[in-house]
């Protein structure tokens, strides 16, 4: 039931792009994306809802394919501050807040 994230780790140079994928074997109501830096709280990035609505506030985009139960997070023109571990959290039933998190993708951006 835990969603699978890919890749597990990625190393980028500043300005390069990255895509992180999140795939579930179960139907999803929503997908939530977070970034966590070492020793810190996870920070909210995006919510993608069934039906296509997106909520987010950073210069990062994402997509949600409901039929395939997949979501992708797009990081363009990466900055050093993008380094961290990215988690997708999946919600199976709407309006419960119960998130099942993927195993995480570690992103390192180098100068």
Q: How far is the CB of 46 from another protein (least distance, A)?
A: 10
Please identify, among the stretches 16-24, 58-66, 69-77, 85-93, the one whose residues bind another protein according to the rule CB under 8 A. 85-93
Q: Which residues contact 48 (CB under 8 A, 6 or more apart)?
A: 30, 31, 32, 33, 54, 55, 62, 63, 64, 71
Q: Does 63 bind another protein (CB under 8 A)?
A: no
Give the H or E element holding residue 26.
Answer: none
User: Of 26, 37, 59, 98, which one interacts with another protein (CB under 8 A)?
Assistant: 98
Q: Which residues contact 67 (CB under 8 A, 6 or more apart)?
A: none
Site track for another protein across 19-58, x = CB under 8 A: ----------xx-x-x-----xxxxx--x-x-----x---
Q: How far is the CB of 93 from another protein (least distance, A)?
A: 10
Tokens 């920070």 belong to which residue? 43
Q: How far is the CB of 87 from another protein (least distance, A)?
A: 7
Q: Does 103 bind another protein (CB under 8 A)?
A: yes
d(CA 51, CA 91): 14
């Amino acid at each position: 039931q835990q969603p699978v994230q890919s890749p597990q780790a990625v190393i980028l140079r500043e300005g390069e792009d990255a895509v992180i994928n999140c795939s579930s074997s179960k139907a999803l109501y929503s997908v939530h994306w977070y970034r966590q830096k070492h020793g810190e709280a996870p920070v909210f990035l995006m919510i993608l809802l069934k039906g296509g609505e997106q909520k987010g506030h950073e210069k990062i985009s994402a997509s949600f394919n409901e039929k395939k139960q997949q979501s992708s997070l797009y990081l363009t023109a990466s900055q050093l501050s993008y380094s961290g571990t990215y988690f997708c959290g999946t919600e199976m039933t709407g309006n419960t807040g119960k998130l099942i998190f993927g195993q995480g993708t570690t992103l390192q951006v180098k100068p």
